[in-house]
Structure 1
Amino acid sequence: MLTIELDRFVEREGISYDRLLSKWVIVKQENGVDLLASHARYADEIQAIQFLEPIKLTNKKGMGGIIPNQYITDLSLLNISSGTINIPITHFMHLTARSGDIEHMYGGKTYYIDEGYLRNTIDIALLAATKERNISVAAIILLDPAARCADPDLGAILQHPDNNGGTYTMPDLTNAESVNCYAAALDFLAKRYCRIDNSYGRISHWIMHNEVDGGRDWANMGVKPVTVFTDTYVKSMRMCYNIVRQYDVHAEVFASFSHSWTEVSNPGWYTCKEIVDLLSAYSKTEGDFQWGLAYHSYAQDLTNPCTWIDPNAQLSMATPFITFKNLEVLNKWALSKENKYKGTVKRSIWLSEAGVSSRSYSNEDLQKQAAGFAYAWKKINALEGIDGIQWHNWFDHSGDGTCLGLRKYLDESYKGEAKPVWEVYQKAGTNEEDEYFKQFLPLIGIPDWNIIENF
């Protein structure tokens, strides 16, 4: 066995570059020319500098988009075990110091963080979830286009050079300055939210960007072949993984997808399956790492809570969509040996943004929403490959285009009033579930809850 020792840090372009972020190849020389003799490969093992106990899920009920609000006790009342929180790093990171900023040095460069923003948004939510209730939380890492960043100059460094629009951008990983800036943000978050003393709250999982099959809208890097897009996405996932695992040996990164599988959800999008297949291929070639799926298994029509009738959610690995109706497909994918981490460990699957809507606040529509969740829950709770659902949304939100909340709008008119689905969510997983859920069988048109199918 050949052993070579190298310095971990090396000066490059004025940056103290951490080779932890590198991948490596074997090169041979022929006639004085260096030729590749292997595929590139990342580090197989990353030594953690501390040990954090994992936060284990106690049930499959979660909350998506945890925010500070007057109904924070819902996390206890609903027996929430997991959650997600949006972390747009371009909202609080600056290149030059501003009042109230704290310093973070990485790669020999100093960046500045708006600690007031963190304390009043992220810290308060994470502390309520993790320190007070031991909830396992996944951070959704987002980057605004430069024009919308708190510091447009920093945004220009982080924004992908081929970005041509979209709500969020893919990070620029094409030059040393941008890579260092992005790595600095991830390193700061890992140091702050992966602490033994849990001073600021805990992040256990890291969802990389949002619905990347819709990269044009949610992780924009221009119009690219799916292979080129996924190559950049894998680099972003790897960078987060390699940095965070120094602080939390149990941390996982998740790839985020919409409810499409083999059919595009919108023009110009990719399909989920082609990106998932590429992630698997990269893992086999460049070294496996512990990634999972953050899947958004909405109904095929987000406005229709009757997900049990989704026409294009089929029991086939070639199904156009994966919704609550055919979660068996995702379950089968997760339990297949060829899809497991190192062939033995099931990859985590969180339904990290998923729910059914009430088209209005009429009694009929509210009951259909409640029935839609009851149906979804019976699938989720019975399938061992699905680890949990993080319900979207806690409150109805106009940006969703439909009323997906467990509660009504958090405004002066509705004041976040609980909808019937809130009580169904509360009963789920309790000894009252079976009796309470019976009322929805006639509406769905089934005699009992034997709805799991094999294929």
Structure 2
Amino acid sequence: MTGGQKTTAGKKYVLIGFFFLILAAFLPGMKASAKEWPVAIKSCAIRRGSRDVVEVRYQKNSDRSGTDGNYYLFALGAWQMSLTNSMEPIDTVRQKSAGILRVDLKQNTKDSRLNKKFAVAVKKQNGAYELVSSFSYITNPEEVASYRYKFPTAVSKKGLQVNTEMISDAEDLGVRHSAVNIVLNDFLTEEWQQNSRYAYKFTFEGTTYWFSKAACAALEEKLLPMKKSNMIVTAILLMRGESKSLDMIAGGALRDGVYYYGLSTANERSVRKLSALMTFLAKRYARSGARYGRISNWVLGNEVENYGQYNYMGELSLAKYAKLYARSFRVVYNSIKSVYSNARIYISLSNCWNIKQPSGRSFTSRKTLEAFAASLKAEGEISWNLAFHPYPQPLTDPVFWDDLATNKSSTQFITMKNIGYLTDYLKRRYGRGVRVILSEQGFTSVSGGQENQELQAAAFAYAYYIAEFNDSIDAFILHRHVDNEDEVAQGLCLGLWSTSGDSVEWAGEKKKIWTVFRYIDTNQSRRVTNFALDILGVSSWSQLVDGFTWTRFTKMASIKTSDLQAVQDLEKPRSLKTWTEAYGVTVEEKGSTTVLTPKQGLNRNLFRGVGKAFDEPMNFSKRPEVYFRIKLSGTSAKRAEVKIRFYSGSHLYESRGKVTVGRETAVSANLSAWKYKNKVDKIQILVKPNGASAWNTEAQITIKDLQMGMTVG
């Protein structure tokens, strides 16, 4: 087992690859071996450095009699399975034992071949063309990408499905990864919206599209704060059943009980529209400057083995379903990778490995994955990845370590108990190139009708450590930030916060898991998780997690805290004004004074305030004292908590104190003892009234004379 939880030594895995090799021979459009065709396509790729030349390398396996002695290259649409009389070859070579056929890519023209599949044919004596090879798509669309920056990295794998109204809390928690749903329908427009007032004009492959400005603004309201917080963002691409989207829905038919639908590649219009939308999103959200926020990971669908609810394309066989999903996956892949070369594209699967969903209208995750991978490989292998949901089984029990999940190939479920089996299986079958993100899982704080926050926190700590020490896993994204009342009604209290009942998802009180989550990837990891060892019945984490070492956490991140102090006179003060970020407030600058107006309708437990990200890190070594005056009004609370934060990469220094509402108070923070004071890249000042007191409509927060300096004497 390479990383993850301990397993019993000597266990052997049962390989069933032979069965699937035989099965592949019967899948439509797929061949068990390229040698079944007279010609094998060995590669189909954009020539390196050319950006506009596609090279199809072939090898002759056998002769086809009665031909004119040439090989002809054809480009077909994704939906086309055979040659038609109207098709013309796009290149010709004399038949040899091996050779290369070449053609222009013609990217972003009406004749673009980016999403075409190529095949070799011969011309028979009657003048008709006959296919003599299987199909192959371009396998390296990244060769033409405009953006080629390195894939972003984070200091740890700690992630959360962030409630974006609580971005200040997410920063407090040190969230490194997050996920957002992108409902593709929202970007499509009705005819009356297809103008510059409501939509962005986007010309793609000779056709003009209009994509919704409102949808972009709503998404950017989430993405921009996440980018400013240095989170790596995963987008889950979903399609609802709406009349304006019928040409993008596989099968084109709506059905009751379906949440989301598969994407259509049934004709040229559908393929081009899907590719246009994905190219638009990639150009906007994968651009190097991250002007609108950044998306690095793209997941096509949600738990797609559960087709009856989450990826409906009709009542299909597994082979047909996998082929259609793989086809839409490839269009999404080619579109995004041709914009940003290092983007990662994922298939989404649930924990139901060898068992169908209770609804029955599903396949198993394993069979879906294997049929999907085989479909891709048969027509040009690309670097797909896996977004997995290893919830406990059942979801209402956080104690995943006693799940029925096993490390055998026959295991019904894959949970955090046996996640190492999954990553080892992927390495054996598909190589080390497949990356895994655990994009959704959670642990309830109520089990058997009883509240047990310690058990929830212990389950999270154990699961997180398993993921952190598994080298195939890149992110562990917890579901969810705040308990959701609809889930609570089902016995699922999965949040870091309880819900107050004021709305479906309204933060009430922090649970124990909040503190564990905040510190688990810092130098205080041991302190906040030691309690869990008794619950788990062991004396050290290394008894449970292969490769576990505390050294990893001393290098990740740190949090240091102090109390705000009464103001001292400063020497050589330097102004730090001009804010770049706002948290639940509107900002007005008046000389050396900043006036903040708290927005109404937001959670009462949230800190409000401002932040400033420096273009170049600031050195506070010679001026370690930071001074400011603050005054609050417009709340029934008599006291309020104030904190000023200093960030240096993943390291945080936080100074807190209490002030009296209605009175101007001068306070200071001293960074002298902080190791990272010489390289501060961001500061924040945040405020919250005591208790759950609200801000009224006349509320204001006034910050004056923010300065850095040194204490006199």
Fold match (TM-score > 0.5): yes
- Contact (CA 8 Å) 1:158, 1:178: kept in 2 or not? yes
233-242 or 398-407, which moves further after superposition?
Answer: 398-407
Deviation by residue 1:368-390 (Cα, 9 ceiling, x = unmatched): 21111122122112211222211
Aligned counterpart for 1:406 among listed residues 496, 520, 523? 496
Would the aligned equivalents of 2:398 and 2:447 in 1 still touch at CA under 8 Å?
no
Partner of 2:385: 292
Aligned residue type for 1:260: C
The equivalent position to 1:376 in structure 2, one of 463, 470, 474, is 463
1:328 aligned counterpart, secondary structure? helix
Equivalent position to 2:180, from 61, 76, 85: 85
> What's 1:145 paired with?
241
Q: In the aligned structure 2, how far is the partner of 1:419 from the partner of 1:18?
A: 54
Which one is further off, 294-303 or 157-166? Answer: 157-166
Q: Secondary structure of 2:209's partner? A: strand
Among candidates 99, 120, 125, match of residue 26 of structure 1: 120
Q: CA deviation at 1:163?
A: 4.6
Structure 2 unaligned blocks of 5 or more: 1-98, 548-713
Alpha-carbon offset, residue 145 of structure 1: 0.4
Radius of gyration: which is bigger? 2
Q: 2:319 is paired with a residue of what secondary structure?
A: helix
- Equivalent position of 1:348 in the other structure: 435
In the alignment, which residue of structure 2 is the partner of 1:149?
A: none
Residue number in structure 1 paired with 2:189: 94
Q: Distance in 2 between matches of 1:205 and 1:48?
A: 16
Q: Does 1:43 align with 2:135?
A: no
Partner residue of 1:388?
475
- The correspondence of residues 300-379 of structure 1 with structure 2, limited to 5 A, is 300-311=393-404, 313-336=405-428, 338-340=429-431, 345-359=432-446, 364-379=451-466
Q: Which residue pairs with 2:22 in the alignment?
A: none
Cα offset for 1:17? 4.8
Question: How many angstroms does 1:352 deviate by?
Answer: 0.3
Q: Equivalent residue for 2:307? A: 215
| Identity of matched residues, % | 26
CA distance in 1, matches of 2:478, 2:393: 16
TM-score (norm 2): 0.58
The structural deviation recorded for 1:4 is 2.0
- 1:255 to partner: Cα distance: 0.3
Letter in 2 for 1:106: F
Q: Which amino acid aligns with 1:112?
A: W
Q: Which deviates more from structure 2 when the two are superposed, residues 356-365 or residues 216-225?
A: 356-365
Counterpart among 264, 280, 297 of residue 373 in structure 2: 280
Q: 2:152 aligns with which of 42, 46, 55?
A: 55
Bigger strand share: 2
What TM-score, normalized by structure 1, do the two folds share?
Answer: 0.89
Determine the C-alpha separation between the residues in 1 that align with 2:512 and 2:448. 10
Q: Distance in 1 between matches of 2:510 and 2:537?
A: 26
Residue of 90, 95, 106 corresponding to 2:204: 106
User: What SS does the aligned partner of 1:26 have?
Assistant: strand
| Conservation of the 8 A alpha-carbon contact between 1:260 and 1:271 | yes
The aligned residue for residue 246 of structure 2 is: 156
Q: What's the offset of the Cα at 1:37?
A: 2.1
Would you say how many aligned residue pairs link Structure 1 and Structure 2? 434
Secondary structure of 2:167's counterpart equals: coil
Q: Which one of the candidate residues 201, 226, 241 is aligned to 1:129? A: 226
Q: Which has the higher contact order (CA 8 A, sep 6+)?
A: 1
Deviations 1:320-353 (A, max 9, x none): 11101111112212433x412xxxx531100001
Q: Confirm or deny: 8 A CA contact 1:96 1:111 kept in the other structure.
A: no
Contact 2:202 2:280 in 1 (8 A): yes
How far, CA to CA, are the matches of 2:147 and 2:540 in structure 1?
A: 49
- The answer on whether the counterparts of 2:178 and 2:233 sit within 8 Å (CA) in structure 1 is yes
Distance of aligned partners of 1:57 and 1:334 in 2 relative to their CA distance in 1, 3 Å threshold: farther
**Structure 1: any 5+ residue segments left out of the alignment?**
147-151
Offset at residue 407 of structure 1 (A): 1.8
Deviation, 1:416, is: 4.2
Q: CA deviation at 1:410?
A: 6.5
Deviations 1:99-123 (A, max 9, x none): 532222223333322213321x210
Partners of 1:375 and 1:7 in 2: CA distance: 50
Give the equivalent residue in structure 2 for 1:76: 171
